[in-house]
A and B are shown apart, each in its own frame.
Chain A
């Protein structure tokens, strides 16, 4: 079935790197996304990767995609206290007709210790 899995919690010290992992199920997913949810707020798109890429870098963020293992990771370099949030990965899968929909993971709570 459609199931996107993430570990629930990650704690790091300020200045360290954080790595948040995700496994997805649909090998035909064309886009994979990382969303960030700050306390009391909705989700915001952080970054995404197209399925024909292995890696995407965007300032402090690095996304790695292993299509063979259906594994996606998000690395945050020099993690700051402002990075404390819940991070969701999401895969796009085909819906009815020409639509597609997003399947979200369970979310990983990142806690950054000063």
Chain B
């Protein structure tokens, strides 16, 4: 079982470039999430999905887009990269049996925008 995998591990972008962060899980989890982690700020939820074809905004969605065409994949798209998007991005998944919600995290993508 690979769990949650993310690619790439590291990326440097120029201002205005676009890219897609990939996330795949093999646990058949219905819920998937994207977070960003900034030093001293904890994790902030960007977008989440409760199942294929259904996505919703989190706390900090501006500048990002997502799609969920399959249960396994949940890519995060940055259209016009800005320095404020320099961060570490984590994808997570869970089989959400509310109120219990154990989330499994990928190893992260470190993104720098210059």
> Is B99 an interface position by the 8 A CB rule?
yes
Q: Which residues of B contact A (CB under 8 A)?
A: 4, 31, 33, 35, 40-43, 45, 48, 50, 56, 58, 90, 92, 96, 98-108
Chain B residues in 8 Å Cβ range of A8: 40
Q: A31-B101, A41-B108, A43-B90 are in contact. Are A100 and B40 (CB under 8 A)?
A: no
Q: Output the least CB separation between A11 and chain B (Å).
A: 17
Residues on the B chain within 8 Å of A88, using CB: 42-43
B96 interface neighbour in A40, A100, A106, Cβ under 8 Å: A100
In the complex, chain B residues whose CB is within 8 Å of the CB of A98: 98
CB <8 Å contact, B42 and A100? no
Question: Does A44 reach chain B (CB closer than 8 Å)?
Answer: yes
Q: In residues 36-77 of chain A, which contact B (Cβ within 8 Å)?
A: 40-45, 48
Enumerate chain B residues within 8 angstroms of A96, measured Cβ to Cβ.
56
Binding site for B on A (CB under 8 A): 4, 8, 30-31, 33, 40-45, 48, 88, 92, 96-102, 104-107
A42/B108 in contact, CB under 8 A: yes
**In the docked arrangement, what's the CA distance between A100 and B92, Å?**
14
Instruction: Determine the chain B residues whose CB is within 8 A of the CB of A100 once the complex forms.
Output: 96, 98-99, 101
How far does the alpha carbon of A38 sit from the alpha carbon of B44 in the complex, in Å? 19
Q: In the complex, which of the residues A43, A45, A48, A99 contacts B98, with contact meaning CB atoms closer than 8 Å?
A: A99
- The smallest C-beta distance from B1 to any residue of chain A, in angstroms, reads 14
CA of A43 to CA of B88, assembled, Å? 12
| Complex alpha-carbon distance, A104 and B105, angstroms | 13
